Amino acid sequence: MVSRPHGGRLVDRVARGSSRQRLIEEATEMPKIEISESLAADVANIAHGVYSPLEGFMLREDYECVLEFMRLSNDVPWTIPITLDVEPDEVRDVVPGDEVVLIYRKVPIAVMRVEEIYPWDRKEYAMKVFKTVDPSHPGVARTMKRKSMLVGGQVLLINDPPEPFERYRLWPKETRVLFEARGWRTIAAFQTRNVPHLGHEYVQKAALTFTDGLFINPLVGWKKPGDYRDEVIVEAYRALIEHYYPAESVVFSVLRMEMRYAGPREAVHHAIVRKNFGATHFIVGRDHAGVGRFYGPYEAWEIFKEFPDLGITPLFVREAFYCRKCGGMVNEKICPHGNEHRVRISGTKLREMIKRSEKPPEYMMRPEVAEVILRHPNPFVE
Amino acid sequence: MRMSDKVQISIARELYEKAKRFVEEQGGFSSVEELVEFLLREVLSEEESSYTMSKEDEEKVKERLRALGYI
C-alpha cells in the first residue's frame, strides 16, 4: 500500500472552475509580489501536495521550530524551512489578513492570504540548515542573497508555472493512482541531480530487488554551476530506462524543486517529499545532497535516527564500485578484495571525461547514456 | 512546542512501567512521553487522513497517465 501522506492528509490548494475564475479577476486588484522560479516551484509544490502537510509559506512558529528542532510546531518532522522572502518595500501596504497575488514571469500564479510578516536572520538560518556560514557553500551563498523579511500564509494556486518537462511531470495524486494501478505495495524512491552512471544503476536495482517498484524522481530547477543541465539528466535517464530497466517496474518523473545542498537535513526533506508521492522506501546515498567537504560521507544516514516517526523507510545503500576480481559492480559490504582491484566511479572524473568529449568506459557508464550526454554541446550549468 | 501547549494525562502504572522498559530496551524514543505521543499521532493521523479522490477525478488522472504512456 502506498505511504500515507506526511501529516496524514494530502494537501490540495489548487483553485478550480468558477472559484479559480473569480480569484483571477479579484487578483487584478490585489497587491503584487514578484517571485523567482524557485519560489514559483515551491508554490506549485505546496498546492499540489508535494509539501503536505504545508498549505502555505511558513509562519514564524513553524519556521523557528523547523530551524531549532527539525519539526513543525505540531511536532511533525520537517527539516527545511519553506519560506517566501520579500523586501519591506514589496509589502509596505500589506497587513496580516490581506490577500496578495504572487506573480511569476508576469503571470499571476497564486493568491496568498498573508498571516504574518516577520524578519529572519540569514546567518542563523545558514548555520542551522547548512551547518556553516562559509560563503563558498552554494546554499549559504544563495541564502545570503535572499531578501530580508519573510511572509507566511496559505496559498491557492490559480495558474501552474510553466514546466518544460510537462511530459515527465507527475504530481502526488497522480503517482498514487499510478502506483495503485500497477499493484505496487512497496515503492523505492530515488532522488537525483545527476546523470546516471553504473553506481546509481546498481543502487537502484539493489533497492528494486526487494520492492515492487522503483520511482526515479530527479530534481529539475536551480542547480549550481558545473552540475548537469536538466534536459541532459532527463534524456540520459530516458536512455538508461529504455535499454536497461524493465518498464513495468519503473516510474520516471521529474520534480521541480531547488537543490539546496543541505546534506543531512535535505536528505530527510527529500524523503518526506517522496513519501507524499506515495513511496514507502527512500534510497539515501553516500553524502546525500552534500557538496564539497561540508558533510561527512554518511552523515545523511545518521540523521534518520532522529526520526522514528518519519513514515517512510530509508534504505542505506552503500556506494557501489567496480571490482575487477568480482567482475562486476559491488559494494564494500559484499566485496572482500582490496583497493588494488576496485575502480571507484567518481562523478568528478566522469565530468572531466565528458568535458573532453571522451566516452567513459562501459564499467562506469552505459554507452547509450554517454552518447546522449555527449550529443549536447554543453551538458553543464554555467 | 511550548510547555503551555502540553496537558497531563494519567495511564495505569503497570502500562507506564512496560512502556518505560520498551523505551530503554528498544531505543528510538527518548522518553515514555515521546512514545505515547508517537503512538497517538499514528492512530489519530489515520483518522484524519481525509484525502479521498472521487471516481471521476481518479478517471481523469488515469486518462492523463494513459495519454503519457504510464499505464
State which of A93, A126, A157 marks the end of a domain: A157
How many C-beta atoms surround the C-beta of residue A32 within 10 A? 13
The ipTM assigned to this model is 0.86
Inside any domain, residue B36: yes
Q: How far apart are CA A155 and CA A149, in angstroms?
A: 18
Q: How far is A113 from chain B (nearest CA, A)?
A: 23
Domain that holds residue A233: 166-374
pLDDT in tens, A178-234: 999 999 999 999 999 999 999 999 999 999 999 999 999 999 998 889 999 999 999
How many domains would you assign to chain A? 2
Please state the pTM of the whole predicted model: 0.88
- Do A310 and A343 share a domain, yes or no? yes
Chain-chain contact of B48 with A167 (C-beta, under 8 angstroms): no
At A121, which amino acid appears?
A: D
Residue B70 has pLDDT above 50, yes or no: yes
- Do A118 and A177 share a domain, yes or no? no
pLDDT in tens, A319-344: 899 999 999 999 999 999 999 999 99
Q: What is the DSSP letter of A74?
A: T
State which of A157, A184, A219 marks the end of a domain: A157
Q: How far apart are CA A175 and CA B62, in angstroms?
A: 10
Position of cell 531549532?
A68
For the ranges A19-23, A286-290, B23-27, the lowest mean pLDDT is seen at B23-27
Q: At what angle do helices A347-355 and A367-375 cross, to 10 degrees?
A: 50
Residues A89-110: what's their mean pLDDT? 96
- Do A227 and A255 share a domain, yes or no? yes
Q: What is the DSSP letter of A286?
A: T
Q: How far apart are CA A198 and CA A220, in angstroms?
A: 21
Share the mean pLDDT of chain A: 96
Inside any domain, residue B20: yes
Q: What is the DSSP letter of A5?
A: P
Chain-chain contact of A9 with B1 (C-beta, under 8 angstroms): no
How many domains would you assign to chain B? 1
Residue B42 has pLDDT above 80, yes or no: no
pLDDT at B47: 45
pLDDT at B4: 59
Angle (CA) A192-A196-A200 rounded to 5° is: 75
Interface residue of A178, A215, A254 to substitute, partner B, most B CBs within 10 Å? A178
pLDDT at B5: 72
Residues of A marked as catalytic: 193-194
Chain A residue whose CA is closest to B30? A306
C-alpha distances out from residue A333 to A193, A301, A318, A320, Å:
26, 16, 8, 10
State which of A124, A157, A190 marks the end of a domain: A157
- Do A258 and A347 share a domain, yes or no? yes
Q: What is the DSSP string of A121-185?
A: -HHHHHHHHHS---TTSHHHHHHHTS-SEEEEEEEEESSPPP-TTGGGB--HHHHHHHHHHTT-S
Q: How far apart are CA A362 and CA A359, in angstroms?
A: 9
B45 pLDDT band (50/70/90 cuts)? low
- Do A142 and A49 share a domain, yes or no? yes
At A192, which amino acid appears?
A: T
Residues A119-145: what's their mean pLDDT? 97
Q: How far is A382 from chain B (nearest CA, A)?
A: 32
Residues of A in contact with B68 (CB under 8 A): 167
Domain that holds residue B28: 12-67
Q: Could you tell me if A308 lies within 8 Å of chain B, comparing CB atoms?
A: yes
CB pairs under 8 A between A and B: 53
